[in-house]
A and B are shown apart, each in its own frame.
Chain A
């Protein structure tokens, strides 16, 4: 065991791998080459089509102990990963590691396959019941949670060698060119899949929409695709994209958004060249509404919006408020429709978006970003991975990438959820280090990190409700009481990897 710089106990090894404790967001330098894969000469002419998913598994040469990946752009509508594991099991293959970009609630169907040893490791964050069961000690399956940028880094550096990537391809030709723009399972940007396509040893494009060659525009090219497998369906299109991304009407959420907008105004970044990222939550969109009003009023021509893209950002692009959108994943149908026709709506890979070991990531060009939180502590550390009971229920997404890259990262959250304090002494799990968080905005006030004294002074001048974060915590505790610490066993069930590969925290089994 070793303490990392945030005081968290980090084991020396986990699942056979030696660990590097987190030190700070910036200083760790890579000692690796870009991963490579064997050069192959295609011997079959004209078509890479195989009979179906089972034939694809066989053709790709998947064997016991290998690592596979899928992408999560189909989100809770995805059926590919479930179907794939079923076929792998039917073929008697065991001890598979899954290194998908994320796992959602729909993938709870994998639980029996974890129990019977088909799946023995998750090199990815999880959303939903699998993480909860692992946290409870009911499933034995080590998890490594990475941010979007961190996952791209791990694949590109060869730290997580993906043997076969099975990539959902909503619009694909028989020679393996594909995009996510069209078809019954259209999901827009394939930003995560692009990293796998470039770095996996074998790549299978799985489609429910085979089109005549060439499938243009080409998102992922034939040059990296080994096989094309047709399936009846990639999933439930209704759940692929959420059309319920709406501005909150909750007065508390709107108050938080208003305060966040004050912070953005006070930062002085809203001027020509302004760049901005926000999420899909109701509060984030309410902040975006304020930002749009500011930009219109001040006649600001922004540089770019980025991250997961919503129709909201599409409207701002089309209104001329931004020069471009960088899109790693589309969050609604309007964004899907836009990326297929507007060249200023630019698809980007997860590596381009947020890999810290790049010659430059898009997050490093961000002025302001709005981030959410499950918990925030008095050192500005943020948890988005574990819930109040200590269970691992969420993936990191781009949280720590954006916080590190953006000039001003603003965390928005209600100070109380239900009866639970959100601002507290210490977060259950550190996802994002406080040294990369600029401001915490709650409905009870705005806490500014001491690293930004000028911003704090400007907010006070604007009569914004600026409070010390400890004062915020005390106000919240006065209402909710001090939360009783969650009790954990010693056993580590998951790692929370910082974007550079060091270990920022671990998830331990919850004591029951």
Chain B
């Protein structure tokens, strides 16, 4: 099944810590966000980007998506970050403080130049912008459509609450409107919605509650600051047995209908349309990642043949 990359868990790893970088292949998250921005002190920016490049060069057989969080495009480090790490072939760039579509467009242009220089297909490097200011929230809808490279919109609550001059709480009421704006923007653009980190790595109950909440709202994944949070996040995002069963029935029904050449597909008297099939395929893909089913679903199974 192409076109859908599982991103339930995105782990921040500081770019200036060799011991953590070395362990990246071992973590069971779906994606890693190697950080050159907030986690790296000013006097280590140079060393960190070189270290990250060396790591990318030696980490050839990758078992998870690798995104590098560069410094903001308005800083003096951003260009050097890109110049150093892109030849190491990360899957994409995590763009901080994506306050407007213009910032995303600027990164898109830079990436295109690097792709031409490196002889890569245009669009090779993906972008995951971070919506983390009041302005960013307001502009989220247009930001989400600013580049075809976008794989999703990520919400960053720590900077957001700072710009709003409010405290972040465990219950998170103060984030509700911003989260919804990011969600609507992402869903309207057909890309994924990734929620912010939960900072207290020892409070697994609250992490579970927050992850359950954001899953109900429509987020497809969550950033995290410690690998210990992975199990809880994956557990919340794991499809329930009845969801998997229902999804299997839908895929089976659509296959049978296509074999019979009928355009009308129904299951237990209910019509099945394309979004339901796509959602069922997504459930099965997630279930497969959890080891709940062993099934291959092709593009053809979902969309049929022309």
Contacts and interface: CB of A to CB of B under 8 A. Distances in A.
Contacts of B226: 251
Contacts of B28: 255
Contacts of A252: 23, 26
B218 interface: no
B123 interface: no
A255 B22 contact: no
B291 A251 contact: no
B250 to A, nearest CB: 25
A443 B168 CA distance: 34
B291 A255 contact: no
B228 A249 contact: yes
- Contact size class for A? 10 to 19
A479 interface: yes
B27 interface: yes
A444 B26 contact: yes
Nearest to B227: A251
Nearest to B202: A249
Interface string B230-263: 0100000000000000000000000000000000
Contact of B23 (A249, A254, A443, A462): A443
A444 B27 CA distance: 10
Contacts of A254: 227-228
A443 B228 contact: no
Q: Which of A251, A258, A463 has the most CB of B within 10 A?
A: A251
Interface residues of B, number: 11
Contacts, number: 22
A258 B226 CA distance: 16
Contacts of B227: 251, 254-255
Contact of A479 (B22, B202, B291): B22
A395 B231 CA distance: 36
Contacts of A463: 291
Interface string B204-228: 0000000000000000000000111
Nearest to B201: A249
A366 B23 CA distance: 34
A251 B22 contact: no
A53 B114 CA distance: 81
B26 A443 contact: yes
Contacts of B27: 251, 255
A251 B26 CA distance: 10
Contacts of A479: 22
A462 B292 CA distance: 10
Interface string A239-279: 00000000001011011001000000000000000000000
A254 B228 CA distance: 8
20 contacts: A249-B228, A251-B23, A251-B27, A251-B226, A251-B227, A251-B228, A252-B23, A254-B227, A254-B228, A255-B26, A255-B27, A255-B28, A255-B227, A258-B231, A443-B23, A443-B26, A444-B26, A462-B291, A463-B291, A479-B22
Interface of B: 22-23, 26-28, 202, 226-228, 231, 291
Interface of A: 249, 251-252, 254-255, 258, 443-444, 462-463, 479
Given A251-B27, A254-B228, 4 more contacts: A251-B23, A251-B228, A255-B27, A255-B227
Closest 9 CB pairs of A and B: A251-B227, A463-B291, A443-B26, A251-B228, A254-B228, A255-B26, A444-B26, A479-B22, A252-B23
